[in-house]
Structure 1
């Protein structure tokens, strides 16, 4: 599937602030006990906004931070750790956790008093087998984005009303193509009481959750309402928001809304419409929670980022200092500084840092994502995205055969068989 969300590489990289280049501190290694090595996926030190904050704090504790920038960070980490090499800490996306734990290269962490600063869902993104393996630092989720100056506040509106509004709703979609998007449709699907997988106290199971009466109702809703969405590539989505439309998107859209746009919209009937959009101010950007299409609580997906601790740290001379650095990374001080960097567009994982956000747009994304569920990280996840998306796309485009509910049930039964055989 095509996700209109930041990749890890982009998520770790910030443009250098207009006031001047970010100069990384000196990371010269001292003795082993006082040095903590971190692997980061940023291209260069100048594009790493995290480590300077960590290093400044660490210096006050007598700790030296040695940062190494890796392009293929995950695979190199998995290869290096069993050889006794690699870093003490690595930063990345939560859906790597399953693979890292399976490879035996990361250790469970102890967060202590920080535990109540992260929601259960936030912790579940880095949890495997009931154990927490990663320290969450920030999260991303979708919401309903609109122009306060040109569109009505969507609070209290139904999906049917939103779709029937003057500029409608833009969805990352490609009618007639191969793209499909269960990621952005998730808040609608889950409002019918269904989910990608069923959930228990530990999080996701391996049982597909698009089943039963809720799935039947969702399929019928897609057939009726899916064709009413406006196709939304990057420029189309920005332009429609700027002109008073609504869009299902995330904080990665914010920078684009501050730039003027000229493009063609692909309307629900397939026609193309010229669109010119004026740059929006931050105060004009509205971010709202999703309405419920099916009567139950909508749950969009969240993408989380955090730090893992290598198994090689246990018993090492610097183990105590690694723990100190990891706990600082989870603190409101670090996450608040990082999130409030101009252009960062990050939603802190720590609830205290979230409360201190100066960017009201990000705070609104955080509020809209309180019921978000972390994406699953199974090895067969790509297949699940593709199969659910293909079924949804067929229902929307009218190529599904027979009763909508039966069509979706048949597709999900086949998908479950694929998972069971994996």
Structure 2
């Protein structure tokens, strides 16, 4: 996470990432639907490039055990949109793999079914992961990994974790003055902003996106963007911008933020587990801590995201897909294989226990995200990204926080159905 880019790819090559858990509260094992009728059939799975390689041996084993052909097809861009299109055309897969915040849109489009997991199976997953894939009281897939932002710092340049964002800025300015770094902070924005990466500072400043209903679900009718709290938050963010301290800059983008860190242009990077491999490859001595908030402000809360498996509602082999997702995806062996493909904390507790002893970064990312907020999966969230991000970028560039974020709030509220 999380670069929200779009690309057009041929429908037959799609690879998707998705998430969920089932709605069966029985203590009996998840019912294994008969797959004998599917003997000689085909199960098609869409996943991205990294997941595809990890999935193939498990998919082949499942196919041999059930007398079916299993194809894992890889695609890397525009997965959600293409999956919905393929689903509507009847040319989609049986199983897809992807982010939990797609759920609201996929359910709204009738593209996925709930997954039937027994209570015993669900209890084996991180509670936040299960919450993330719960929508309208039902569980829509099986989570396999979790992710959140943290502060990654070069310990040769910054041996101590800053307690506040102001401490970070002061240390970063000192490094610049000493010509040990050319940037105070690498937190990606770009010309269009990045709501995901600015969110910890936005929450520390008192802002929120959606309120919650009595049952704890996000309430699209309670939009926080444009409210006084969001204005105050962006006033604080503006002081970090290009007309202020210069810690937040539009020249720091999704494409160069990690590279700037590994190139020692900045001592501090706000990113997720996906950045660690590059830091290791560059032989950067690093440590991981929570994103610091504003002095005297609220705790900085990153989004917590989940990656998971979905059962396609219009798949040609739904019984087999349910069997695969409910009873094979939920095994530690597969979860560890997916972790080895990309080191994000496993959502399955047994898998996390297997790998955390050899990877201290996992516990540090979990600590950084322990009070994070589950990334909203409601359809209204799709209206947030573009207006909010563009407002953020404008404010970082020097635009007035009050008028800019108020206008963004009006745009978003007008798009929420």
TM class, shorter-length: 0.7 to 0.9
Structure 2 counterpart of 1:359 = 359
Give the drift of 1:395: 2.8
Structure 2 counterpart of 1:251 = 273
Taking the aligned partners of 2:346 and 2:141, their CA distance within structure 1 comes to 15
Q: Secondary structure at the match of 1:117?
A: coil
TM-aligned CA distance change 1:382 to 1:75, over 3 Å? closer
Q: Deviations over 1:52-82 (max 9, x none)?
A: 13444675x5565612416476566546667
Taking the aligned partners of 1:6 and 1:399, their CA distance within structure 2 comes to 25
TM-aligned CA distance change 1:38 to 1:395, over 3 Å? same
Q: Say which is worse superposed, 301-310 or 82-91, in terms of deviation.
A: 82-91
Q: How many corresponding residue pairs?
A: 369
Q: Does the 8 Å contact 2:45/2:96 carry over to 1?
A: yes
Taking the aligned partners of 2:321 and 2:382, their CA distance within structure 1 comes to 38
Please identify which structure carries the higher strand content. Answer: 1
Q: Does the 8 Å contact 2:309/2:325 carry over to 1?
A: no
Where in structure 2 are the equivalents of 1:20-419 lying within 5 Å?
32-33=38-39, 37-42=43-48, 48-56=53-61, 62=66, 64=68, 66-69=70-73, 71=75, 78=84, 86-112=92-118, 113-154=120-161, 157-165=163-171, 166=175, 167=181, 168-174=184-190, 178-200=191-213, 201-206=215-220, 207-210=222-225, 212=227, 214-227=229-242, 228-229=246-247, 231=249, 232-233=252-253, 234-235=255-256, 237-240=258-261, 243=264, 245-259=267-281, 279-280=282-283, 284-293=285-294, 295-311=297-313, 319=319, 322-323=322-323, 325-341=325-341, 344-357=342-355, 358-377=358-377, 381-400=381-400, 404=401, 406-407=402-403, 410-419=406-415
TM-score by length of 2: 0.74
Unaligned runs of 5+ in 1: 13-28, 260-278
Q: Does the 8 Å contact 2:115/2:322 carry over to 1?
A: no
Give the drift of 1:88: 3.5
Taking the aligned partners of 2:87 and 2:16, their CA distance within structure 1 comes to 24
Taking the aligned partners of 2:99 and 2:261, their CA distance within structure 1 comes to 30
Taking the aligned partners of 2:155 and 2:4, their CA distance within structure 1 comes to 23
